[in-house]
Copies of this chain bind each other. A is one copy, B any other.
Amino acid sequence: MIIILKENADAAQFDALKDWLTKQNVTLHISEGIQQTIIGLIGDTSHIDLDIIKQFDIVDDVKRIQEPFKNANRKFHPLDTVVQVGSGGVKVGGGGFAVIAGPCSVESEEQIIGIAEAVKKSGANMLRGGAFKPRTSPYSFQGLRAEGLKLLLKAKKATGLPIVTELMDLSQLDLFADVDVIQIGARNMQNFELLKQIGKCDKPILLKRGLANTYQELLMSAEYIMASGNQNVILCERGIRTFETYTRNTLDISAIPALKTLSHLPVIIDPSHAAGIARFVAPLSLAAAAAGADGIIVEVHNNPSCALCDGAQSITPPVFDDLMEKIRHILPFRCQIKA
């Protein structure tokens, strides 16, 4: 961390600042220029609150050099984290390509088992399906909730696919005992109380990037989970909000090399929510595979015209099957991002 002082900084305040900094367990390296004095902090600065330093009147600017996240930082953990999912040997990260597929919402036993069987046959290794649904409008379908979770577990039993589903509030946590991967949605990425609590369980967490959150903020949210003890975090880029409204959001494909440079955690892509357009799912999935993602999470529905939500962005099982075939051909030639 570098602190730039204002010109002609008051000596007493300078002493007060040095005093405060020394208490933070860092070593100070002071460069007194003719016009400006610069303080370099040497040591671990991840715990230091930038805002407090800015409050000192004599401080002109503060710039971090070291990232403020530690558990999630590749600098301290150069090797890729490989997240183990369920008991059947499914892994995310470390060179493989995880494919999580399924409907936006669980609608019925027949629907979820039917889709689970179809996507498994095409090569998916996890099943997704929403039971608790975050919807912009209170008048929209809110998911089958507890009943939806039961149907997901039936589909897991029928196919052996581990299940991934979204937790919206801590009060629902007990219901998630047999869920394999807990998804934290984009709108909850900075629900810090929730992050702290799920950090106390040992299930893999699929953490989606918020619509207007930076890579660093996503990694700080992962840090909340990891600092509470749970190291099994899978990062997910699902589109950010920009001025372009033709697509629902803008898939930030650079998040793949960026997050994998900054962190050792696996990174997957959600092309369905990013675009909101079914025919864009295949090109964006292939782009993700080629760019080095550790997997994708894709909405597949046997009858998109009847889906209770987000049908417009779901692909059909035959389209998914064709996509999987192309992905298999691309994977050997994709980019691999390492430390």
Residues of A within 8 A of B (CB): 2, 4, 29, 31, 33-36, 38, 40, 42, 46-47, 49, 51-52, 54-57, 60-61, 63, 65, 68-69, 134-142, 168-171, 187-188, 190-194, 196, 210-212, 214-217, 220, 223-224, 227-228, 240-247, 250-254, 256-258, 261, 274-275, 277, 279-280, 282-284, 286-292, 304-312, 326, 329-330, 332-335, 337
A222–B213 Cα distance when bound, in Å, is: 23
Judge whether B52 and A311 touch: CB under 8 Å: yes
Of B49, B279, B283, the residue contacting A290 (CB under 8 A) is: B283
Whole-angstrom distance between the Cβ of A118 and the nearest chain B Cβ: 18
A255–B46 Cα distance when bound, in Å, is: 32
**Extra 6 A-B pairs, beta carbons < 8 Å, given A36-B42, A139-B227, A168-B193:** A29-B31, A36-B65, A51-B140, A54-B311, A240-B243, A251-B253
Judge whether A246 and B49 touch: CB under 8 Å: no
A284–B335 Cα distance when bound, in Å, is: 9
Residues of chain B within 8 A (CB-CB) of A304 are 55
Judge whether B187 and A51 touch: CB under 8 Å: no
A216–B245 Cα distance when bound, in Å, is: 10
Whole-angstrom distance between the Cβ of A270 and the nearest chain B Cβ: 13
**Sampled A-B contacts (28; CB under 8 Å):** A2-B2, A4-B65, A31-B31, A35-B42, A36-B42, A38-B40, A52-B311, A55-B306, A55-B311, A134-B192, A135-B192, A136-B220, A138-B192, A138-B196, A138-B220, A138-B223, A138-B227, A168-B192, A169-B170, A187-B192, A214-B243, A254-B275, A256-B283, A257-B275, A257-B277, A261-B279, A286-B291, A286-B334
* Closest partner residue, chain B, to A75 (CB atom): B7
Of B57, B137, B141, B309, the residue contacting A305 (CB under 8 A) is: B57
Of B56, B137, B240, B280, the residue contacting A258 (CB under 8 A) is: B280
Please classify the interface of chain A as helix (H, G, I), strand (E, B), loop, or mixed, using the class held by over half of its residues: mixed
Residues of chain B within 8 A (CB-CB) of A51 are 140, 309-312
A69–B312 Cα distance when bound, in Å, is: 22
Judge whether B212 and A52 touch: CB under 8 Å: no
A208–B224 Cα distance when bound, in Å, is: 23
Judge whether A245 and B2 touch: CB under 8 Å: no
Residues of chain B within 8 A (CB-CB) of A35 are 42
A34–B44 Cα distance when bound, in Å, is: 12
Residues of chain B within 8 A (CB-CB) of A220 are 136-138
Q: A212-B211, A326-B333 are in contact. Are A283 and B275 (CB under 8 A)?
A: no
Whole-angstrom distance between the Cβ of A210 and the nearest chain B Cβ: 8
Of B245, B246, B305, the residue contacting A55 (CB under 8 A) is: B305
Residues of chain B within 8 A (CB-CB) of A245 are 214, 245
Residues of chain B within 8 A (CB-CB) of A275 are 254, 257
